[in-house]
């Protein structure tokens, strides 16, 4: 097929015109059912597994040694863990947003990428979920945040942004699992029915829950999915806004500001798009899905990324304006400190990676160059982490009490947790692409049907 | 013995240390005693001992001892409680016993708080003239010293454990020889001795051994002060200043706020004239001339940083202009002329109410000049009294150098060392150690197996002050009898017992010795019933009417001429002037093994676990040095490596080297911390030495600093103004931000605890911080953790600089938890681990805390501290030395100041039982109790008549960061500087 | 009664299947359904069902319940069961209760929706009789099937075969029970 990719432009259709139900079912199912595991998979999964192992070791070490093994201190009592948390949850949000919001507004390009996006969401959210627990002084007691009266009949304190956060994260992860799974059921049925090996039939049979594809079932299915999408979209917004509130509701000069919820959410989408691109580009290449995840997809997401980047730039400007507008010396010092001071490097790194470099996306030339696109996306993912780090640390390092100013530096274990969590998420993703269809088949069939009327559905008899 | 500290530390760490323990455990004598006293101890000791085990074992034994102390059979029967003797020990009810601590031989009265018969906390003795109820940081930390498991507790002979019996035998044998030779070759080396009993014993010895020679030596002595008095008055005497009576004070590198005998009293008197809101226009004015910043300089209204020669010159000019010397002195050209003349004028105006106080570091001539000026200003009898010297100067023998000569000439065959660690502290140009090794029999009575113990034949562990009977005189001569607070652990003995051994008592008994002396004395004084007299002395902590008699004496008439004849210290033009100064907390190094003192931020540098070569910013710039550079200091061919610390307010071309660090042998806490400045200190120049060359070496030093940023950066943290401004409009600093809130404010009927801190009174001495650490079981976290900003002090004293770096003004601001009514920390805690109680205290529920640390982030005052590791468990202090009233915190929980909740609760329980309300002043927080200047007041702000309400009613009262509407219960009284109108505002630069 | 589950016809396009469905509906058949690999409008229009409304209603109810429960939980703790002064805030700090309440609401909605959906489809049921129909595995890939159950009152094999054939069914067969 690659030689025919030419006729399929960036402004072309979101699906190869020659694609029909059978070809889609065949291509996507065979990736997991028939195709022998490719070498690149072993390489990727191996590296991720190494990261996963590092993560496990780092966690155990943190549990045994206590959070003292990290660089955290007084005043900077929150360090990497919180930056990681915000970063991961942001990435997750991006995924859910693609699949929910663009489902609601019925843009068909979404169907090519939502499965990847949701899966990424799942593992990112899992990584995010680890952080708040790891960073506790007494990790074993994290369950005291659950809403029941624990020791001495004490309840959690519901006014704490951390508790909002706890609810947001918990509900979000649980909902994402269902949202992801329900989208998977019909495809599992397809796999079940195409499976030739016994274990596959059992495995996918169970996952498919006995799905028949009856029209009435489909009806209920679409209704459920629609409402779920309608809930998930605002939920994503709320989740990341609450993460923003963790800081905005605080009293710290650099944190106490109403702009963080939108600021954080926009950043979240930004990193979300970036990760989807960074994953899709190699994936469609290695799995040769160019006819199903077309260059149109890449183009759309690239443009989205550019737009979001501009919104983020606006947030950065607001961030710069606010301290001087309020004239609060604490805010001013903190901001100048984060720009030129001890953490200045991170500030400029974030601007370069998140704002300056992505401006290249104005040029179609760049948008069409997959290497460039990949690099820019990865740059943005890194840039977003740096932004969170700079945000969390520099505000704490220089707040109201000059006498208690102090700097933070990550220790080996801080880095191990960060890199390890990435390993964990990637490993999950690699497992997914070997076991489940990377693109939602039934939703692709819908598009084909839409495009070519009912004739489309005529399968070429095999 | 090696000179490489690392090597020797390697040797001593681990192996040697444990070898000693095993020997200890093997020595039959010890096991026998152990079986008798602590069965479990013996059982343990027979096993092989590793570090943990040793600590447990120590702890176990101490615990037993603590408990045993309740039993009648081990407590000295006639020890008397402070006020009324309770029928017995009531659990939870603490008892106080009066005693005294001595530094430089001068005593300060303390009360030791006992819980269940166990001494746990030091408080000042209100009846004692040198304490008035206050304590110093060192005094507070002395309790940790008492429990220090690393103090020596076995007699050693040439470094090997030996039974006490072996030692006594050796002494008895030697005694025979000595009696025959009428004591020829017998030498005694002591520190400054004020103990009447010890003096009597020495007299006793002299009668037995006429040829005995008695040498006196203190690493940090007050010789120059005495020499100055000798010079000025022609006889030995001590000066007793009265800072409460002084309107204008000139402090010449004065130690009257930090270390001069009686400094706690002086601080109290000084502060009584400084709390602007109370004394208004009667506020006194303080000038300071100094080479290196002192607390007095920090509190001064006008301060000049001058090199030593310049100080001498300045004093002449002042003497000239106040008529204490030839008037041409007043015309001599020199820097800061204007300032000095203004000061002189101010002093003249305050005739009869002026006072000049000269620090121990100054030349005798400067002291004499001070005396002359005081006389000219009519200070005598007004702000200054003269008394007979409290510590009689030695009649013969003389100094350490005389002893060294005698030893190297082979004239000493028996040497008894009662002085503290001369091998470490001896002048560098004295080869004391080698001379010491030539002595056939050397005996050292010392608390630690330190450098000296290593160099002598016999090391007898010295009892801690709280383990032995003795007596000591205060700065004004008042005598206190020191009664032991617990039985000595191991084979420890007091100086009295050691000397008694030499006068033939085989089993000397400290109590008997002291009591006999006092019986004799009582007989002479005809006090009648001795038991009543003795009991009263022990209860009160002072022997009444023993203050030295005041003498009326004028300076010598020819003083001025004499002074003219001597010129200032001969100084070399080249190089820098080195200033040797005792460390604020380690003093001459004797407290080096005390974790609390090591980790206490130095008031001015804010350094912990380190000393440094202090340089002024300008000098540092000139030498191309900056903080944390490492330099090699060359002084008269001697070398020392030191890290540089740039200290604003330091005089140019002066480098201050704090003494007391670089200990090669002491407990594991103090070894190898900092550099040893004694290695540069010579007989000729114990305080100032000129001609030092600094050479920059590569590499940088990592300091463990408690405070990194020294400026307020224009934030409304410390409010400050001039007295003039205050008198014009008392409320000029008391403005408060609006307290509007969306929410109705919470009612606090009943008690509402609150605190007020007076910034005029705070002198930054850190007694409160140490007291807080002692009271609230704050662990010592160690150097690395401090350098990661993880220190655990619940109360800190921030030091801010104002004005130009060369001549900055300092502010000390104690910062405990503000106990905000709208506490930001509480709102963000997800598990209700920090909440408000009905009395408005922001309480911390340790066992509910999961350690999110959000509360600390959200605390604008940053007064919360987190147990990143299990600090308490890794603290070597024995378990039973923790305060049982306060939870010992585990890993992963947040902690902070609670307004000493254990004290408020105890008071409420007692009040309940007596069916009455809490009386004002009934609850005193640890910091408040320790404070020498009464800067801190605590109480119920709902009671309009309480002391705290009165303080808060002050027009200067303000809430720090009040604009955040946190509504702190802890508020401050703004700082007022009493400027001399003739000299503008130093903050606007030097006018000279 | 009859030994088999029903009669099933296999079609190439959704159009054909939809036409059959429309005819069956008009003919008043009740127990029949269309099976296909994707939710396609034409078929949907041809097969009447009210499941959508039902599930949406359930999810709406769940949302209300979730929100109320979420708020009540916090109110109960902070005001009734464990009232304590936290940072001087009023006990019923309602603005602070809203975020958690909303998240709980979302959780309830999504889960109730999911289970309601399973219930309406009688899932999970790993084996369905219809799976026995020949070639049925293509129902989840590229073919469309229409099956009328033997249990249907109007069931008439002959007539049905005729209808299927008219809409050129690829194959027609009986599904064993």
pLDDT tens per residue, range B655-690? 999 999 999 999 899 999 999 999 999 998 899 999
Alpha-carbon distances, residue B450 vs B434, B444, B446, B592 (angstroms): 16, 10, 8, 11
Give the closest residue to B797 by CA, choosing from B927, B919, B890. Answer: B927
**Nearest-by-CA chain B residue for C94:** B743
Whether B7 has a pLDDT exceeding 50, the answer reads no
Whether B11 has a pLDDT exceeding 70, the answer reads no
pLDDT tens per residue, range C123-177? 899 888 899 999 999 999 999 999 999 988 889 889 999 999 999 899 999 998 7
Alpha carbons A166 and A171: distance in angstroms, whole number: 8
C124 touches A210 (CB < 8 A)? yes
Whether A364 has a pLDDT exceeding 50, the answer reads yes
Residue with tokens 């990261």: A51
What value does the mean pLDDT take over residues A38-54? Answer: 96
CB nearest B829 (choices: A72, A138, A157): A157
Alpha carbons A223 and A217: distance in angstroms, whole number: 10
Whether B991 has a pLDDT exceeding 60, the answer reads no
Kindly report whether the peptide bond that precedes residue A75 is cis, defined as omega within 30 degrees of 0. Answer: yes
pLDDT tens per residue, range A269-327? 999 999 999 999 999 899 888 888 888 889 999 999 999 999 999 999 999 999 999 88
**Nearest-by-CA chain C residue for A232:** C106
What value does the mean pLDDT take over residues C62-89? Answer: 94
CA A331 distance to own-chain centroid? 31
pLDDT tens per residue, range B191-208? 999 999 999 999 999 999
pLDDT tens per residue, range A431-441? 999 999 999 99
pLDDT tens per residue, range B337-374? 999 999 999 999 999 999 999 999 999 999 999 999 99
- Residue A251 with chain B: CB contacts under 8 Å: 824, 858-860, 964, 966
Cβ–Cβ gap A162/B790 under 8 Å: no
- The Cα diameter of chain B in Å comes to 92
CB nearest A154 (choices: B848, B854, B892): B848
- Residue A183 with chain C: CB contacts under 8 Å: none
- Residue C59 with chain A: CB contacts under 8 Å: 224, 227
Query: What pLDDT was estimated at residue B904?
Result: 95
Percent of chain A at pLDDT exceeding 90? 74
Which range (A300-309, A329-338, B406-415) has the least confidence?
Answer: A329-338
At B45, is the pLDDT very low, low, confident or very high (cuts 50, 70, 90)? very low
Cβ–Cβ gap B745/C88 under 8 Å: yes
Alpha carbons B123 and A226: distance in angstroms, whole number: 73
Cβ–Cβ gap A459/C141 under 8 Å: yes
Whether B84 has a pLDDT exceeding 60, the answer reads no
Q: Is A149 an 8 Å CB contact of chain C?
A: yes
Q: Please name the residues in contact with B774: beta carbons below 8 A apart, sequence gap of 6 or more.
A: B121, B122, B140, B141, B143, B144, B596, B883, B926
Query: What pLDDT was estimated at residue A447?
Result: 87
**Nearest-by-CA chain A residue for C31:** A216
Element (H, E) at B55: helix B51-68
What value does the mean pLDDT take over residues B498-503? Answer: 94
Q: Which of C17, C22, C39, C49 to mutate to test the interface with A (most CBs of A within 10 A)?
A: C39
User: What are C153's strand-pairing partners?
Assistant: none
Query: What pLDDT was estimated at residue B761?
Result: 96
Cβ within 8 Å of C, A 403-462: 441-443, 445-446, 449, 454-455, 457-459
User: In this complex, how many residue pairs, one in chain A and one in chain B, have their CB atoms less than 8 Å apart?
Assistant: 164
What value does the mean pLDDT take over residues B766-792? Answer: 95
Give the closest residue to B849 by CA, choosing from C76, A157, A73. Answer: A157
User: ipTM greater than 0.95, yes or no?
Assistant: no
Give the closest residue to B598 by CA, choosing from B529, B548, B660. Answer: B660
At B89, is the pLDDT very low, low, confident or very high (cuts 50, 70, 90)? low
What value does the mean pLDDT take over residues B26-44? Answer: 50
At B58, is the pLDDT very low, low, confident or very high (cuts 50, 70, 90)? low
- Please state, rounded to an integer, the average pLDDT across all residues of chain A: 90
At B55, is the pLDDT very low, low, confident or very high (cuts 50, 70, 90)? low
- The Cα diameter of chain A in Å comes to 79
- Please state, rounded to an integer, the average pLDDT across all residues of chain B: 88
Chain C: closest CA distance from residue B486 (Å): 45
Chain A: closest CA distance from residue B166 (Å): 49
3-state secondary structure chain C: CCCEEEEEEEECCHHHHHHHHHHHHHCCCCCEEEECCCCCHHHHHHCCCCHHHHHHHHHHHHHHHHHHHHHHHHHHHHHHHCCCCCCCCCCCCHHHHHHHHHHHHHHHHHHHHHHHHHHHCCCCCCCCHHHHCCCHHHHHCCCEEEEEECCCCCCCHHHHHHHHHHCCCCEEEEEEC
Give the number of other CB atoms < 10 A from CB of residue B727. 14
Cβ within 8 Å of B, A 74-93: 74-78
Give the closest residue to B510 by CA, choosing from B489, B530, B492. Answer: B492
Whether B568 has a pLDDT exceeding 80, the answer reads no
Whether B992 has a pLDDT exceeding 50, the answer reads no
Query: What pLDDT was estimated at residue B794?
Result: 96
Which range (A191-205, B74-88, B241-255, B492-506) has the least confidence?
Answer: B74-88
- Residue A186 with chain C: CB contacts under 8 Å: 37-38, 140
- Residue A145 with chain B: CB contacts under 8 Å: 830-831, 850
Whether C86 has a pLDDT exceeding 60, the answer reads yes
Percent of chain A at pLDDT exceeding 70? 95
Alpha carbons B801 and A276: distance in angstroms, whole number: 53
Whether A200 has a pLDDT exceeding 80, the answer reads yes
Cβ–Cβ gap C142/A194 under 8 Å: no
pLDDT tens per residue, range B99-146? 999 999 999 999 999 987 889 999 999 999 999 999 999 999 999 999
3-state SS class at A22: helix
pLDDT tens per residue, range C125-135? 988 889 999 99
Neighbours of B, requiring at least 3 CB pairs below 8 Å, are A, C
Give the closest residue to B12 by CA, choosing from B664, B459, B610. Answer: B664
Query: What pLDDT was estimated at residue B43?
Result: 45
Query: What pLDDT was estimated at residue B567?
Result: 57
pLDDT tens per residue, range B468-486? 999 999 999 999 999 999 9
**Nearest-by-CA chain C residue for B832:** C86
The tokens for C121 are 């489809």
Output Rg (C-alpha) for chain A, integer angstroms: 23
The tokens for B917 are 């309300």
The tokens for B429 are 């140009």
Neighbours of A, requiring at least 3 CB pairs below 8 Å, are B, C
What value does the mean pLDDT take over residues C53-78? Answer: 95
Give the pTM: 0.89
pLDDT tens per residue, range B700-711? 999 999 999 888
The tokens for C39 are 């939710």
Residue with tokens 């944190």: A255
Query: What pLDDT was estimated at residue B328?
Result: 86
Which range (B693-702, B736-745, B846-855, C48-57) has the least confidence?
Answer: B736-745
Query: What pLDDT was estimated at residue B76?
Result: 55
At A243, is the pLDDT very low, low, confident or very high (cuts 50, 70, 90)? very high
């Amino acid at each position: 097929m690659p030689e025919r990719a030419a006729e399929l432009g960036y402004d072309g259709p979101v699906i190869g015109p020659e694609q029909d139900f059978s070809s889609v079912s065949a291509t996507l199912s065979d990736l997991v059912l028939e195709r022998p595991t490719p070498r690149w998979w072993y390489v990727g999964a191996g590296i991720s597994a190494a990261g996963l192992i590092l993560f496990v070791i780092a966690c155990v070490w943190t549990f045994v040694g206590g959070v003292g093994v990290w660089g955290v201190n007084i005043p900077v009592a929150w360090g990497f863990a919180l930056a990681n948390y915000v970063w991961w949850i942001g990435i997750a949000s991006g995924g859910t947003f693609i699949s929910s919001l663009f489902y609601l507004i019925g843009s068909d390009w979404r169907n090519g990428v939502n499965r990847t996006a949701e899966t990424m969401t799942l593992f990112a959210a899992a990584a995010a979920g680890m952080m708040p627990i790891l960073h506790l002084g007494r990790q074993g007691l994290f369950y005291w945040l659950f809403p029941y009266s624990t020791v001495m009949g004490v309840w959690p304190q519901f006014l704490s942004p951390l508790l909002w956060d706890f609810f947001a994260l918990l509900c979000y992860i649980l909902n994402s699992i269902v949202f992801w799974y329900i989208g998977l059921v019909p495809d599992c049925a397809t796999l079940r029915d195409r499976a030739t090996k016994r274990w596959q039939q059992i495995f996918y049979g169970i996952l498919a829950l006995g799905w028949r594809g009856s029209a009435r079932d489909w009806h209920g299915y679409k209704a459920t999915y629609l409402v779920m999408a309608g809930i998930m979209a605002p939920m994503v917004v709320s989740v990341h806004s609450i993460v923003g509130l963790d800081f905005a509701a605080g009293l710290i000069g650099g944190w106490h500001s109403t702009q963080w919820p939108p600021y954080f959410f926009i950043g979240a989408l930004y990193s979300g798009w970036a990760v989807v691109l960074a994953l899709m580009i190699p994936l469609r290449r290695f799995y040769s899905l160019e006819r199903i995840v077309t260059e149109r997809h890449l183009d759309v997401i690239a443009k989205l990324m550019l737009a979001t980047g501009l919104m983020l730039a606006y947030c950065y400007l607001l961030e710069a304006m606010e301290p001087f507008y309020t004239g609060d010396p604490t805010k001013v010092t903190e901001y100048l400190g984060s720009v030129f001071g001890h953490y200045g490097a991170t500030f400029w790194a974030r601007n370069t990676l998140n704002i300056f470099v992505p401006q290249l996306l104005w040029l179609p030339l760049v948008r069409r160059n997959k290497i460039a696109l990949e690099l820019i996306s990865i740059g943005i993912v890194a840039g977003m982490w740096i932004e969170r780090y700079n945000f969390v640390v520099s505000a704490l390092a220089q707040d109201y009490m000059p006498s208690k100013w102090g700097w933070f530096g990550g220790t080996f274990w801080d880095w191990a947790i960060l890199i390890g969590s990435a390993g964990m998420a990637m490993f999950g993703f690699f497992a997914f692409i070997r076991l489940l269809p990377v693109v939602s088949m039934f939703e692709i069939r819908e598009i084909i049907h839409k495009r070519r009327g009912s004739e489309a559905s005529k399968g070429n008899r095999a | 013995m090696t000179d490489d500290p690392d090597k020797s530390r390697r040797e001593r760490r681990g192996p040697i240390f444990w070898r000693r323990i095993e020997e200890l455990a093997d020595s039959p004598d010890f096991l026998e005693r152990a079986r008798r006293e602590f069965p479990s101890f013996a059982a343990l000791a027979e096993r092989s001992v590793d570090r943990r085990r040793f600590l447990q074992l120590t702890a176990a034994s101490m615990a037993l001892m603590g408990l045993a102390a309740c039993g009648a059979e081990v407590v000295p029967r006639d020890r008397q409680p402070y006020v009324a003797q309770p029928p017995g020990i009531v659990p939870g009810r603490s008892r106080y016993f009066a005693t005294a601590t001595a530094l430089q031989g001068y005593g300060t009265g303390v009360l030791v708080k006992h819980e269940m018969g166990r001494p746990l906390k030091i408080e000042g003795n209100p009846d004692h003239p040198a304490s008035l109820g206050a304590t110093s940081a060192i005094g507070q930390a002395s309790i940790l010293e008492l429990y220090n498991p690393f103090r020596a507790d076995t007699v050693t002979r040439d470094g090997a454990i030996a039974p006490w019996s072996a030692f006594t035998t050796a002494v008895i044998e030697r005694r025979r020889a000595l009696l025959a030779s009428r004591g020829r070759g017998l030498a005694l080396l002591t520190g400054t001795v004020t103990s009447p009993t010890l003096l009597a014993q020495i007299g006793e010895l002299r009668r037995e051994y006429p040829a005995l020679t008695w040498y006196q030596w203190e690493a940090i002595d007050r010789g120059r002060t005495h020499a100055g008095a000798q010079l000025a008055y022609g006889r030995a005497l001590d000066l007793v200043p009265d800072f409460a009576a002084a309107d204008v004070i000139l402090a010449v590198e004065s130690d009257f706020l930090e270390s001069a005998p009686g400094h706690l009293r002086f601080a109290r008197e000084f502060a009584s004239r400084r709390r602007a809101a109370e004394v208004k226009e009667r506020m006194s004015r303080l000038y300071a001339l100094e080479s290196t910043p002192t607390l007095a300089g920090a509190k001064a209204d006008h301060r000049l940083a001058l090199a030593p020669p310049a100080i001498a010159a300045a004093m002449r000019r002042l003497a000239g202009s106040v008529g204490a010397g030839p008037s041409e002195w007043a015309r001599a050209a020199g820097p800061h002329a204007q300032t000095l003349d203004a000061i002189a004028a101010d002093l003249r105006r305050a005739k009869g109410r002026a006072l000049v106080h000269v620090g121990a570091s100054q030349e005798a001539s400067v002291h004499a000049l001070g005396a002359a000026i005081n006389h000219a200003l009519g200070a005598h009898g007004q702000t200054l009294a003269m008394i007979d010297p409290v510590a009689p100067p030695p009649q013969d023998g003389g100094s350490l150098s005389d002893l060294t000569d005698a030893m190297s000439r082979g004239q000493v065959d028996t040497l008894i060392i009662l002085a503290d660690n001369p091998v470490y502290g001896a002048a560098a140009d004295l080869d004391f150690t080698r001379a010491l090794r030539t002595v056939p029999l050397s005996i050292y009575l010392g608390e630690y197996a330190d450098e000296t113990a290593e160099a002598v034949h016999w090391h007898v562990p010295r009892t801690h002050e709280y383990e032995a009977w003795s007596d000591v005189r205060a700065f004004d001569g008042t005598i206190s009898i020191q009664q032991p607070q617990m039985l000595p652990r191991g084979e420890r003995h007091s100086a009295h017992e050691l000397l008694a051994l030499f006068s033939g008592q085989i089993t000397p008994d400290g109590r008997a010795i002291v009591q006999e002396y006092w019986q004799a004395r009582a007989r002479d004084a005809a006090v009648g019933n001795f038991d009543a007299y003795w009991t009263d002395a022990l209860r009160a902590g002072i022997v009444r009417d023993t203050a030295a008699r005041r003498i009326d004496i004028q300076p010598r008439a020819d003083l001025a001429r004499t002074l003219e004849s001597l010129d200032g210290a001969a100084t070399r033009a080249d190089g820098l002037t080195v200033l040797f100064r005792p460390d604020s907390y380690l003093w001459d190094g004797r407290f080096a093994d005390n974790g609390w003192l090591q980790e206490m931020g130095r008031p001015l540098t804010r350094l912990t676990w380190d000393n440094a070569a202090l340089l002024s910013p300008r000098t540092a710039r000139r030498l191309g040095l900056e903080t944390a550079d490492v330099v090699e200091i060359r002084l008269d061919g001697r070398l020392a490596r030191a890290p540089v610390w740039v200290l604003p307010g330091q005089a140019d071309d002066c480098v201050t080297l704090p003494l007391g660090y670089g200990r090669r042998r002491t407990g594991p806490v103090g070894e190898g911390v900092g550099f040893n400045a004694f290695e540069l200190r010579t007989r000729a120049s114990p305080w100032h030495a000129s001609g030092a060359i600094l050479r920059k070496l590569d590499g940088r030093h990592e300091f463990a600093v408690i405070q990194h940023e020294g400026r307020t950066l224009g934030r409304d943290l410390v409010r400050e103004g001039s007295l003039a401004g205050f008198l014009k409009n008392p409320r000029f600093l008391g403005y408060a931000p609006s307290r509007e809130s969306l929410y109705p404010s919470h009612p606090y009927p009943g008690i509402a605890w609150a605190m007020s801190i007076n910034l005029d009174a705070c002198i930054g001495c850190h007694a409160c911080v140490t007291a807080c650490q002692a009271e609230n079981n704050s662990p010592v976290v160690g150097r690395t953790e401090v350098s990661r900003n993880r220190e655990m002090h619940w109360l800190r004293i921030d030091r801010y600089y104002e004005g130009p770096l060369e001549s900055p003004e300092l502010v000390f601001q104690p910062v405990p938890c503000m106990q905000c009514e709208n506490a930001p920390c509480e709102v963000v805690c997800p598990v209700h681990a920090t909440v408000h109680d009905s009395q408005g205290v922001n309480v911390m529920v340790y066992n509910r805390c999961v350690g999110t640390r959000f509360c600390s982030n959200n605390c604008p005052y940053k007064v919360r501290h987190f147990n990143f590791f299990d600090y308490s468990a890794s603290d070597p202090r024995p378990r039973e030395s923790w305060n049982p009233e306060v939870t010992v915190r585990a890993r992963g929980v947040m902690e902070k100041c609670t307004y000493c909740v254990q004290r408020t609760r105890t008071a409420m329980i007692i009040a309940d039982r007596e069916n009455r309300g809490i009386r004002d002043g009934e609850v005193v927080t640890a910091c408040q109790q320790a404070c020498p200047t009464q800067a801190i007041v605590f109480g119920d702000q709902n009671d309009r008549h309480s002391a705290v309400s009165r303080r808060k009613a002050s027009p200067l009262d303000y809430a720090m960061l009040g604009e955040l509407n946190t509504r702190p219960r802890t508020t401050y009284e703004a700082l007022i500087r009493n400027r001399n109108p003739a000299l503008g505002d130093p903050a606007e630069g030097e006018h000279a | 009664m009859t030994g088999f589950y029903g009669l099933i016809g296999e079609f190439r396009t959704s159009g054909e299947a939809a036409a059959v469905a429309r005819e069956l509906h008009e003919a008043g058949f009740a127990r029949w359904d269309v099976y296909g690999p994707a939710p396609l409008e034409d078929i949907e229009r041809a097969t009447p069902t009210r499941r959508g409304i039902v599930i949406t209603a359930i999810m709406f109810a769940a949302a209300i319940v979730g929100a109320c429960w979420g708020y009540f939980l916090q109110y109960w703790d902070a005001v009734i069961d464990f009232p304590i002064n936290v940072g001087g805030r009023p006990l019923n700090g309602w603005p602070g209760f809203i975020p958690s309440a909303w998240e709980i609401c979302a959780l309830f909605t999504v889960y109730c929706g999911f289970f309601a959906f399973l219930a309406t489809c009688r899932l999970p049921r790993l084996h369905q009789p219809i799976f026995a129909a020949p070639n049925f595995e293509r129902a989840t890939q590229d073919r469309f099937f229409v099956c009328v159950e033997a249990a249907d009152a109007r069931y008439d094999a002959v007539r049905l075969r005729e209808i299927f054939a008219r809409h050129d069914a690829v194959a027609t067969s009986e599904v064993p029970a």
